[in-house]
Chains A and B, each alone.
Chain A
Amino acid sequence: MSETPFLVLSAILFTIGAVGVLTRRNALVLFMCVELMLNATNLALVTFSRVHGNLHGQVTAFFVMVVAAAEVVVGLAIIVTIFRTRRSASVDDASLLKY
């Protein structure tokens, strides 16, 4: 199978995730869009692994998954903490570091 469709799909998913990060205000949904981007990258990695005939891409995708897990854990804890003190899950509300 040609690898191009997979890569195109990966590109599309990545872009959608990126636009989602820019557009959504709810912290949780924004975080989920980030996860979408990571997943799109994983797809690309697995595709390339198949193209080159070795498992390096798959190992890397594996590591991405692990790191994404750790990242989600900490990120959600942060969101919960912010929600506890500021009673808001909107990303726009944390805008005090400005001019």
Chain B
Amino acid sequence: MTTALLPSLAESVPVIETAPADGVLSLLWLIIALPALGAAVLLLGGRRADAWGHLLGVGTVAGSFLLSVLAFVSLMGRGAEERSVSQHLYTWVEAGSFTVDAGLLLDPLSALFLLLITGVGGIIHVYSVGYMAHDPRRRRFFGYLNLFVAAMLVLVLADTYLGVFLGWEGVGLASYLLIGFWQHKPSAAAAAKKAFVVNRVGDLGMALGVMLLFATFGTTAFAEISAVASEASDAVLTVLGLLLLLAACGKSAQVPLQSWLLDAMEGPTPVSALIHAATMVTAGVYLIVRSNFIYEAAPVAQSAVVVVGAVTLLWGAVIGCAKDDIKKALAGSTMSQIGYMMLAAGLGVAGYAFAIFHLLTHGFFKANMFLGAGSVMHAMDDDVDMRHYGALQKMLPVTFLTFAMGYLAIIGFPGFSGFWSKDKIIETAFSENLVVGLAALLGAGITAFYMTRLMLMTFFGEKRWDKSVHPHESPKVMTVPLIVLAALSVLGGFLLLGNWVVDWLEPVVGHAEHHELPVSPLVLTTIITLVVAAGVALAWFLVGKRDVPRVAPANVSVFTRAARADLYGDAMNEALLMRPGDRFVGGVTTFDDSGVDGAVNGTAATFAGMSGRMRRWQNGYVRSYALSLFGGALLVLVVLLAVNLG
């Protein structure tokens, strides 16, 4: 029915038809196997592997990167219609009519992700060799990192929703292990637990979604579902879309499941860079783009995605304005940028490609900035408070330059990668809905504000260092990755050259019709740039011109207070969920103690009391026993007579 009303819809949703993997692509499984093997060796090898563990960790991911490049090149060599390749590994689940095959799907979307994960991941692995050099558990760290890379690769390469779920859970586990890596710190352990629990809520949506998919379509394979997705009822598709959105919110730290991301900064900085900036948090966006055949048929769910994206991009931006912890400020920024990606993904066929484009550029510049923050922390004795920084430009020149590249990218300075990707998203937003477009525009301005504030507080101004701190530049093993990522932040825009990324992803997301903008693109770009400039100027006046106090002032406006408290996200969670849950559990415990136990003990006590009283009948006197006998005989007699005479 849907097909008849909107014929263009059916045409624009591509059906996945795959060719078998041959040639170099037959090594597809190896891309996952290498880091998985690395994780196994490093985690099971024990202290014997301490000496060379980190090298193995880097090596496996480097190997996967090489294979990913080969796979990408191989795909490029094929025609546009033949770019979906699948490799069947084995039959995974066989339970009556429910059959799930373990197989891999390589198409333009997953190829891009492969490059991102293994490439940026490899760079961060190299960085970690230097960053974690003094940590006695470095081998274990690399084991966990490899585990993460393997799970993430499973997530993007799986050809069934169940396979995605496997990777989904795997990255959740790796995230938990890595956030709580410094397990002796109670705050780290608590943060890991929080991340896991909040993710669980999202995972619930994923699990229910998978079950509903199976119940509706009888399969969880992308190829098969994409063919028949539009035939399901609107209600089912809407529910599916919302469930998958819930899952994406959990993994990508979108409102309402955003509370874990800032706490996740307890983990080592490479973890924050890899997992909580470039890859894991983007898994939600991947899921939505991959499920485009469902979302295209469920406009209500799509609108929900847009709303979530818009709200989160403003939420994250506001939080980022008031954070003095450099990592938390960057985390708020991540939340906001992923909001942009979700927004784009929710805009339908027009926005999918730009969402992925922004995902890639964000991966570059955010990883760049996180690693740069790590370098700064390394110089400042692991202090994260920006109020203790200042005037680091001269002391850390390489770090400053590379960080500046990332900064210019994120605020959307013309020519840098972020400029291209964010502008495209704001354009698409305006062409669909004015309010959404204005929200995205505002977000850009706030982004400029807080990022400038961060730069000013860290690298410029007066020295506000602790007495014992002597900032020095990081070793080459850390600065070279920074340089590579900075280059990508600058040049990442080439992906849009000749609309390449849009054409590349068209077999996966479909062809978007051209929508007219209310204003011409050039005018829009100018407006955006002016808003960004306004944000930068505001930061300069409020932060750069004034002295930055070393201790955070307590007497602040209500907005600042709200932003410091994460816009009361934690408070709401506690009030809505934790406290009622606590009281409920307390009530259940009390019921168990006094109700159930009381009933059981009461029954026992009743019987004991009764028996205590009844045993007094046995007074030892034969004559009283004889009296009871006599009474009983009387009863029997009466009954006999009653029966016989009555």
Contacts and interface: CB of A to CB of B under 8 A. Distances in A.
Interface of A: 18, 21-23, 25, 91-92, 94-99
Given A18-B630, A22-B627, A22-B630, A96 B622 contact: no
Interface residues of B, number: 11
Contacts of A94: 620, 622
B618 A98 contact: yes
Nearest to A98: B620
B623 A22 contact: yes
15 contacts: A22-B626, A22-B630, A25-B623, A91-B621, A91-B622, A91-B623, A92-B623, A94-B620, A95-B619, A95-B622, A96-B620, A97-B620, A98-B620, A99-B616, A99-B618
Nearest to A91: B622
B545 interface: no
A98 B619 contact: yes
B623 A99 contact: no
Question: Closest 3 A-B residue pairs measured CB to CB?
Answer: A98-B620, A95-B620, A99-B615
Contacts of A99: 615-616, 618-619
Interface of B, helix, strand, loop or mixed by DSSP: helix
Nearest to A95: B620
Contacts of B620: 94-98
Interface in B591-625: 615-616, 618-623
Nearest to A24: B623
Contacts of B615: 99
Contacts of B630: 18, 22
A92 B624 CA distance: 10
Contacts of A18: 630
Contacts of A92: 621, 623
A95 to B, nearest CB: 3
A22 B627 CA distance: 6
Contacts of A23: 623
B611 to A, nearest CB: 10
A91 B627 CA distance: 14
Given A22-B623, A91-B621, A99-B615, 16 more contacts: A18-B630, A21-B623, A21-B626, A22-B626, A22-B627, A23-B623, A25-B623, A94-B620, A95-B619, A95-B621, A97-B620, A98-B618, A98-B619, A98-B620, A99-B618, A99-B619
Contacts of A22: 623, 626-627, 630
Contacts of B618: 97-99
Nearest to B630: A18
Contacts of A96: 620
A22 B621 CA distance: 10
